[in-house]
Structure 1
Amino acid sequence: MSTLLEVSGVSVTFDGFRAINNLSFQIGEAEMRAVIGPNGAGKTTFMDIVTGKTRPDEGRVIWGEKSISLLGMNEARIAQEGIGRKFQKPTVFEEQTVQENLLMALKKPRGWFAVLTYRPSDADLAKVDDLAAQIGLTDQLTRTSGELSHGQKQWLEIGMLLAQEPRLLLVDEPAAGMTPAEREHTTDILVEAAKTRAVVVVEHDMEFVRRLNCKVTVLHEGAVLAEGSLDHVTADQNVIDVYLER
């Protein structure tokens, strides 16, 4: 499997605190990865570096088969390269319907004229129907997004990211605040998405991580502490000491 993203020897310090410490991480093209670790382990900063929100003090972040560096790019350019990020709190256009949210998110020319004159084609509407089926919101397409449950808004936001056809999806604590049934459906959406792209899930819920059934990277003090299957990392004494016994 070829490497899609490679983070190599990356460090970043904020006000004397080393948030990321010589971190190396890589993920393949169609791969699911869970990233776990205690609060302050560097999970969010890691995602900030990959998406261009934070510039590291040293190290490399290499992307795609052409091995281009992401470090000189701004956030918008990195998103155009095919890196999508979902934050913990869902951000959808609450006044718009589910269908309108998905249509707005489709990968399209974004100039002001293109936006002003945009009318959805049959192909656009078909794509939206397909996305709605992937996220389980087919029967909600005409509903105003503000009326959706917390879990449904999370799925809509994942659908909006998938509409942009990213090659890497970074998802921050998708299971937070969900019912068990919603968590199960979220697992299904992410596992399906990872068949055709890389998906990195930052999560605290071990049951959720177990259901993802993927390789796990454990971060501690800004570095990789352990990596492997969930059973492998949870049996690691270092992981037990710094994370699991808290």
Structure 2
Amino acid sequence: MISLLEVSGVSKTFDGFRAINNLSIQINEPELRAIIGPNGAGKTTFMDIVTGKTRPDTGQVLWGERNESLTGLSEAEIANRGIGRKFQKPTVFENQTVRQNLAMALKNPRGPLAALFFKEPQTDADRINEIAGEIGLADQLPRPAGELSHGQKQWLEIGMLLAQDPRLLLVDEPAAGMTAEEREKTTDILKRAARTRAVVVVEHDMEFVRRLNCKVTVLHEGHVLAEGSLDHVTADPTVIDVYLGRSDA
């Protein structure tokens, strides 16, 4: 494994509220990491800073083998470096088929001429079929995305991100609104994806996090409160006090 992303001493304040407070996190490649914490812990702001949506007041965000600084780069520039983000609500092209959604997401030349003369090469078709198999939608390729279940739309959006071949995938609460069967399948999709890249999952569902079976980072008031296995962090008295609550309370 190599160090892929290093967030070092990052702070961010919004109107007097310190959302991120001297935060330092390191993500390796490949790696599956879960980030948990109470509301307001800084989880979303952390992802906003990594993807360029928000700029930190202080600190550094370093990327890749050359420790390139991401601070100051646009969202598009950061995405082109190989960072993909999936928001909680799936955003797919509902009037297009599953195949068309995946085809549009593939890393191909952009622009009017490319779109005008586009013809799907065999390599793209093979890649689409491969991704559809990975996300469990191989039998849904001709189906309009709008007809998919909530869970299937989540899988399609993950597939669209995988089609861009990111080195880091940030996934926000993928288990929200899913059935137990869909959550189990989503766990499998994310674990497979993390074999060849870094996958960071922000989640509240502790059972879902347990199934991920990965290193867990607990955020609180914008900084790392605890880190380690889920059993390790959930046994930490401070984590119990600020996040999990005491059963004897």
Aligned to 2:194: 194
1:1-246 correspondence to structure 2 within 5 Å = 1-245=1-245
- Shift in Å at residue 116 of structure 1? 2.3
Cα distance in 1 between the residues matched to 2:115 and 2:81 = 21
- Shift in Å at residue 115 of structure 1? 2.2
Poorly superposed stretches of 4+, deviation over 3 Å? none
Cα distance in 1 between the residues matched to 2:107 and 2:206 = 34
Q: Kindly, what percent of the aligned residue pairs are identical?
A: 76
Cα distance in 2 between the residues matched to 1:195 and 1:72 = 30
Cα distance in 2 between the residues matched to 1:16 and 1:115 = 47
Secondary structure of the 2:226 match is strand
Over residues 59-97 of structure 1, what are the superposed CA-to-partner deviations in whole Å (9 max), with x where a residue is unaligned? 000000011000121000100000000000000000000
TM-score by length of 2: 0.98
Secondary structure of the 1:170 match is strand
- Shift in Å at residue 243 of structure 1? 0.1
Query: What is the aligned residue count?
Result: 246
Over residues 114-160 of structure 1, what are the superposed CA-to-partner deviations in whole Å (9 max), with x where a residue is unaligned? 12221111111111000000000001000000000000000000000
- Shift in Å at residue 109 of structure 1? 1.4
Over residues 159-198 of structure 1, what are the superposed CA-to-partner deviations in whole Å (9 max), with x where a residue is unaligned? 0000000000000000000000000000000000000000
- Shift in Å at residue 2 of structure 1? 1.5
Cα distance in 2 between the residues matched to 1:80 and 1:176 = 28
TM-score by length of 1: 0.99
Which amino acid counterpart does residue 94 of structure 1 have in structure 2?
E
Cα distance in 1 between the residues matched to 2:115 and 2:65 = 32
Which amino acid counterpart does residue 218 of structure 2 have in structure 1?
V
Cα distance in 2 between the residues matched to 1:213 and 1:223 = 23
Secondary structure of the 1:65 match is coil
Cα distance in 2 between the residues matched to 1:141 and 1:128 = 9
Cα distance in 2 between the residues matched to 1:51 and 1:115 = 27
Cα distance in 1 between the residues matched to 2:113 and 2:64 = 31
Secondary structure of the 2:99 match is helix
Unaligned runs of 5+ in 2: none
Secondary structure of the 2:7 match is strand
